[in-house]
């Protein structure tokens, strides 16, 4: 499964699990405004992605590691793509 498909599937799962419409997801969509995800929804999405992709790009032993800003679906795609390429 590619990163974009995994992220779309995870978001749609969270939406369905919270009785919301699992709509078509585009990379430019804002997670909060366009998709209605809150911080708990985002955490659930990240757990699903860690399980399906086998990587947690937010866990770093290096305190100087850059912090990620996640506002859009494409932000998630970029973060996970980078993490997978570094494995």
pLDDT, tens digit, for every residue of 34-74? 999 999 999 999 999 999 999 988 876 555 656 678 999 99
Q: How confident is the model at residue 10 (pLDDT cuts 50, 70, 90)?
A: very high
Domain boundaries, the chain: 3-85
Quote the CA–CA distance of 34 and 73 in Å, as a whole number.
Answer: 10
Quote the CA–CA distance of 37 and 43 in Å, as a whole number.
Answer: 10
The token duo for 4 is: 């974009």
| Predicted structure pTM score | 0.88
Which CATH number does 3-85 carry?
1.10.1200.10
What is the structure's pLDDT at 61?
A: 53
How many CB atoms neighbour CB 56 within 10 A?
Answer: 13
């Amino acid at each position: 499964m590619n990163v974009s498909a995994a992220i779309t599937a995870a978001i749609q799962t969270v939406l369905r699990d919270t009785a919301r419409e699992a709509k078509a997801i585009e990379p430019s969509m804002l997670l909060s405004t366009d998709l209605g995800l809150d911080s708990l929804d985002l955490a659930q999405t990240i757990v699903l992605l860690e399980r399906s992709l086998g990587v947690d790009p937010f866990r770093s032993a290096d305190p100087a590691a850059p912090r990620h800003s996640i506002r859009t679906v494409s932000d998630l795609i970029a973060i996970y793509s980078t993490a997978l390429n570094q494995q």
